Amino acid sequence: MPDPTVAAPAAPDNAIPASTLPPPPPSQQRSLSDVIAVEPRSEQFNPNLLPVPNVPIPSRGAPPRPAPTSSQLRGTFKVMVEARSSNQASVVRSLYPDAFPTVHNDRALLQVGIFSSRDKAEQILENLKNKGLEGLIVPL
């Protein structure tokens, strides 16, 4: 029973009488079984579990490789270069896009890479020196 102390909301002045409104459209609702059709395997059917649809999961590519351990790095050589200006850092990154900032003996440097042979590390360092950059090789 409606509360007599509460007034019914007044209809707005521009209200359309319900008798002139078109009927609502037919229901477009579908049941879950219309959307997901999964046939349970009789030998694995468990009435207490809901079926899971077979939906492909998008791949995000290969997982990242784990960082090498210190024993794996033994016998390798780090090439690091000092970039004293943003122009020098740009030169390093144009030659070696994967170079990244690091600190060695309290000096801010860019690590160009880790190489399995000293000859390759020296070749890289020579290339950097030819561009007017100073660097060093750190055996691991």
In this predicted model, what pLDDT tens digit does every residue of 24-76 receive, in sequence order?
666 666 665 555 555 555 555 566 666 666 666 666 666 767 776 766 667 78
- Residue 73 belongs to some domain of the structure: no
Q: Range of 107's domain?
A: 79-139
Read off the pLDDT of residues 69-120 as tens digits, 9 standing for 90 and up. Answer: 766 667 789 999 998 898 999 999 999 999 999 999 999 999 999 888 899 9
- Residue 15 belongs to some domain of the structure: no
Question: For residue 89, what is the domain's CATH number?
Answer: 3.30.70
Model confidence, pTM: 0.50
17: burial class by Cβ within 10 Å (0-12, 13-18, 19+)?
exposed
Strand partners for 102 = 109
- Residue 130 belongs to some domain of the structure: yes
